[in-house]
Amino acid sequence: MQLQNILFSQGFGTRRVCAGLIQQGHVRVYLPDATEPVVCNDAAEEFEENGLRFSVQGVDWPYQALAYLMLHKPAGTECSQKPSTWPSIYTLLPAPLRQRPQKAAVQGVQAVGRLDQDTTGMLLLTDDGKFIHRMSSPRHHVPKVYEVTVKHALDEAQVQKLLAGVVLDDDPKPVRAAACEMVTPLHLRLTLTEGKYHQVKRMVAAVGNRVEGLHRSQIGGLALPADLAPGQWRWLSAADLQLISGAAKAAA
């Protein structure tokens, strides 16, 4: 693939902009077995894109045919391209991830599901529409683990009610936790395999308590890394994706 097309596919601007970056000497490419990148001024030069690493204006970038990443969502942010009150989570990502071309009208990576503005923790983003559908569909029962801080001390009866199922106001069918553990009297670890609106908060309210803090610590078999600080992101590896999809199949 031509280098200008590689940059375009990764979200570095239009083909003309990408060609300009290359011709102005802002793009360096890591050749096979090389430890340092070399400047490439030819926008039409061909490269094997799979496994390619390059840098644009000093920032290293790996070629990704499809982007899969994890963000540690901080409190006070909205999972929306057009937030109403709080800053958007998308402002935490570099411009190329927000500009990756897609066949759909919306550009860039998209969040897989949403977290409330006051909820923190693991959020997946991708430009793979099939992956978004698979992770979001209730048919696939992807387990998600939440660390819940509650206002009033928990008791075993509340835990058992959450496991047995509680009725929410918009659905007569009981909603059950896949797993529920009282870590401390004020800390509940809750695992869900569906994603109804404000589900954790409403389930906890249904057993006579109130959520004071909510943090998603795990999706599928993949836990939020301890060294990924709020507001930071990283690429998902093939092993990470297997942990997510493998747990989804086991739960189905």
Q: Which amino acid is at 228?
A: L
Helical axes 238-251 vs 129-136, angle rounded to 10°: 40
Instruction: Report the alpha-carbon distance of residue 139 to residue 135 in Å, rounded.
Output: 9
Phi then psi for 135, rounded to 5 degrees? -75, -30
3-state secondary structure of 34: coil
CA 35 vs CA 28, 31, 46, 140: distances in Å: 12, 8, 20, 43
Strand positions, DSSP E, the chain: 27-30, 38-39, 53-56, 59-62, 68-73, 110-111, 120-126, 144-150, 166-168, 171-175, 179-184, 187-192, 211-219, 222-223, 233-235
Q: Is 89 helix (H, G, I), strand (E, B) or coil?
A: helix
Selecting among 116, 127, 169, 170, the annotated active-site residue is 116
> By CB neighbour count within 10 A (0-12 exposed, 13-18 middle, 19+ buried), where does 60 fall?
exposed
Residue 116 appears among annotated catalytic residues: yes
Catalytic residue IDs: 116
